[in-house]
Every structure is written in structure tokens, then in C-alpha cells.
Amino acid sequence: MSTPSAEPVPLPAKRRLAQLAMLAFAVAIVMLAYANVGLALDNQVPAGMLTYGLGLGGLMLAAYLVLAKFAPWADPLILPLVTLINGLGLVIIYRLEAAGMDGASATNQLLWTAVGVVMFSVTLIVLRDHRALQRLTYTAGAVGLALLISPLLPFIGQEINGARIWIGIGGFTLQPAEFTKLALVVFFAGYLVAKRDVLALAGRRLLFIDLPRARDLGPVLITWGLSLGVLILQKDLGSSLLIFGTFIAMLYIATQRTSWVLIGILLFVGGAVLAGLIFDHVAARFEVFLDPENPALYDREFGGSFQLMQGLFGMGQGGVLGTGLGQGHPNLIPLSFSDFIFTAAGEELGLTGLMALLMVYALLVERGLRTSIAAREPFSKLLAGGLSFILAWQVFIIVGGVTNLIPLTGLVTPFMSQGGSALLANWILIALLVRMSDTARKPPPQAIQDEGMTQVFQR
């Protein structure tokens, strides 16, 4: 073994100042967008702009300070990217509220953003070492399961818009599926790290793929059953697809076995066909996906293509440059403040805006995956990889759905759609990524002196 070199290892830059500048830039874009909405709607800068701007700016400054103190080595890009998406979501919701759309409330969303930032900070402060989560593998699994079935329980479970995915506590309604996804990713990461050798190595080769042993199929089948259960009992296609897809991706990352992906796809297709045969609402979604412009489907009262087409009309109206904030009619699209917020952005910000927005999402995912690659031990790699993938997967499912790339399944557009549960859960997700990127980027301890074969590690 060689002795460590006497020269100090170059440290990765913290780039805290760059992060602050980018954060200020993101807040500035959002404030300008606010002003734009006001000027377009009634020729004046909205009275609340300073409140909103200072509110958002203050929140992000607080998040920044917490991050600088408790995760100084964290990736500098993550927080500004999230700020930009969250802020644009706020502006669009504000714009829809100004147009008199029922249900859109920018004030509520700002309050939830504040709570989200608090959760972000608390997570960073309390969770000094994310590897503590590994010890909670089965607890997380149990919590995830409990959250998943909670909407089915009497008294607290509520059915809204035909999907039983809400629970009501006090005056609030929560969508536990959003928290479920976090708990389950933690569970999958812990579980797969423990079992990955067996899942990866045992089995026999058939033709050109390695088939796993039958008994190792257990966890996959259980997850599959779980997501089918969600689909059947809660009529929540989106969450079902989200959970199953993420599990398959994590299984692949953990085992490096392509056969798992193939098995997963087969199970998914089987499940989807089965569901399509059994449930009218699943079949209807597929029918609408194939021919949304069909007048018969457009005029159908339930499960028709009216909403989808309204979203597409909005996007068409926006064209390349968009109508400009406050100058389109995104309020004509049903639920344009939640599931369909992406099409509302498409109408007013145009193709240009949507490309930028997708790029911001892609960058965020890319920073998460980079964290995963830079991480030093399997649990962190799997957790960061899983969290990043679920973010990308969720964007793909909902954005692909509202743009008719894939059949539409209701999901929240991360950080944009109005809704407290999703904001909270996603801010926690970001806190976890930030925590892991801090650990990953923190330079290894430097030898204080030439200690020969002995080194002191910090934990």
C-alpha cells in the first residue's frame, strides 16, 4: 500500500454564493411573472405582488440558510430549480384564481409552500444522517402500507371526484398516497440493499436472460398485488402506476438484472389488460387516449375526452410563444390548477415555456441521479436513485397523460399542482436528496499528518 500523498486533495467547491444568486434569479423570474399577470389582467402591478414576492423570497432565504448551515456541501442547483417550479406553479394558480376559477387558491398554495419549506428544514435539521432511515426499513414499509389503505377506512376516508384517495382530519383533507410514495421508496431501498445479492445472483439462465428463482419473485408479486389493489379499491390509476414502476426501476438498479424489468413490464401489461377488461373507467381512459377528438367521446358525460381536449386546445392556442400570462383562457380547462396545470402553462407560456419547464424538471432529476452516482454506499445510491426516478416517472405519467402521449391517469404535477399533501411530500423528498448530496459531496477526511496505515474517519 502506498502512503497517502502529502498534497491536499482538491476540495469540491461548495458554491454557496452561486446558489444564492440562482435562488435570487428564480425568485425574480417568479415576481416578474406575477407582475406580468397583473399587467395583463387589469393594467397594474398586482397589489399583493410584494407580499407574494417577499413571502416566497423570505421562505427561500430561510431554506437556503438552513441548507447552508446543515448541509453545506449539498448540490447548489437543487433548491433554485425547485423554487422556480414551485413559484411558477403559484403564479399560474394565482392567475387562475384571478380569472374566477372555483377551487384555485394561491393563498392556500403559498401557505402550503411555507409549510413545505418548514418540513424541508425540519428534515434537514433532524435527519443529520440519512442512513438512519435504513434502520427503519420495515417501519417505513408498514407506514407506507397503512397510509396507502387509510383512504379506505371508514370515517376518515373520503371520495372526491370518483377516486377514493383522500383522508379528512379535522377540516383538512390529505392525499396520503403522496407520503406513501416516500415511505415505500425508503422501504424498497432498505429491503433491496439487504436482499439484492440473492435477487441478483440466484436463478438460472433461459435463452438469453437470467430468470430469478420462483421464491424470489415474492416481493415483486406482492408489490404488483399492492398496486393492483390501489387501482381496484381506490380507482387511482396514477399512484398504482407510479409505485409499481418505481419499484421495478429500483429493483433493476439494485440487481442489474434486465429480467426484472421484463418481468415487471409483463406483469404491468397483464394487470393493465385485466383492469381494462374488468373496469369500465380503465377501458374508458384507454379509449379516450386512442381517439380523443371523437365527438362521441368528447360529449360523453363521464369518462369522456372533454377535459383532455380542452387541455390540448389550450396548448394549441398557446402555440410556440404562448398567449402570455393572463392573456389566455386556461380557466376553460377543468382542473387546470391541479392535474392539468401543465396545459395551463402551455397555453400562456407556449412551447417555449414548456420546453424550459421540462428542462428544469430534467435538470432536477439529473442532479438527483448524479447524487446517487456520487453516493458512497448502496443504501444511499438506491434511495437517491429511487427518489430521483420517482420524480421523473411522476412527471412523465402526468405530463404524458395531459398531452395524450400515454393514457391519462390522474397524478399531481410535482411542485406545480395545487395541493398541500403533494407539496409537503415533495419538499421532504428534496430535503432527502439535499441531505444525501451533502454527504456524497463532503470531502473525505484529510489526513492531519502522515499517519501511515492508520486513518481516522468521521461519521
Partner 1 sequence: MNGPLKRAALACLLMFGLLMINVNYLQAVRAEDLRADSRNTRNFYAQYEVERGRITAGDKVLAESVDTGDTKFRFQRRYPEGKIYAPITGFFAPESQRDIERTENRLLNGTSADLLIRRSIDLFTAKRSKGANVDLTINPRAQEAAYKALGASGKKGAVVAIEPKTGAILAMVSIPTYDPNPLSKPNKATVNEAYKKLDKDEDKPLVNRAIERTYPPGSTFKVVTMAAYLESDDSIGPETQVDAPQVLDLPNTTADLPNYGGAACGVGRVTLSFALEKSCNTPFGKIAMELGYDALKDQAAKFGIGGEPLSIPLPVAGSGIGPEEDLAALAQASIGQRSNQMTPLQMALIAAGIANNGVVMKPYLVNKIADAEGGEIETADPEELSTAMSEDNARKLQEMMINVVNKGTASAAQIPGVTVGGKTGTAETSRGQAPHAWFISFAPAEDPKVAVALIVESGSAGDDASGGHTAAPIAKSVMEAVLGR
| Contact set with partner 1 (CB under 8 A) | 99-100, 249, 252-256, 293, 298, 309, 312-320, 328-329, 332, 346, 350-351, 354-355, 358, 361-362, 365-366, 369, 372-373, 378, 381-382, 385, 388-389, 392-393, 395-396, 399-400, 403-405
Nearer to partner 1, 185 or 254 (CB): 254
Q: Quote the Cα angle for 71-75-78, to 5°.
A: 105
C-beta of 329: minimal distance to partner 1 in Å? Answer: 5
Output the CA torsion sign for 162, 167, 169, 172: negative
Nearer to partner 1, 114 or 363 (CB): 363
Nearer to partner 1, 62 or 209 (CB): 209
Quick check: 443 and 368 in contact, CB under 8 A?
no
C-beta of 411: minimal distance to partner 1 in Å? Answer: 14
C-beta of 184: minimal distance to partner 1 in Å? Answer: 17
Nearer to partner 1, 135 or 376 (CB): 376
Catalogue the long-range contacts made by 443-450 (C-beta closer than 8 Å, 24 or more residues apart).
443/9, 443/11, 443/12, 443/73, 444/9, 446/8, 446/9, 447/4, 450/3, 450/4, 450/6
C-beta of 41: minimal distance to partner 1 in Å? Answer: 9
C-beta of 389: minimal distance to partner 1 in Å? Answer: 6
Nearer to partner 1, 110 or 297 (CB): 297
Quick check: 341 and 109 in contact, CB under 8 A?
no
DSSP letters, 10-76, are: PPPP--HHHHHHHHHHHHHHHHHHHHHHHHHHHSS--TTHHHHHHHHHHHHHHHHHHHHHH-TTS-T
Nearer to partner 1, 250 or 275 (CB): 250
Nearer to partner 1, 96 or 147 (CB): 96
C-beta of 7: minimal distance to partner 1 in Å? Answer: 27
C-beta of 323: minimal distance to partner 1 in Å? Answer: 9
Q: What share of the chain is helix, strand, coil (3-state, %, to 5)?
A: 70, 5, 25
Cβ contacts of residue 82 below 8 Å, gap of 6+? 364, 415, 427, 430
Helix (H, G, I), strand (E, B) or coil at 294: coil
Grid coordinates representing 215 are: 421464491
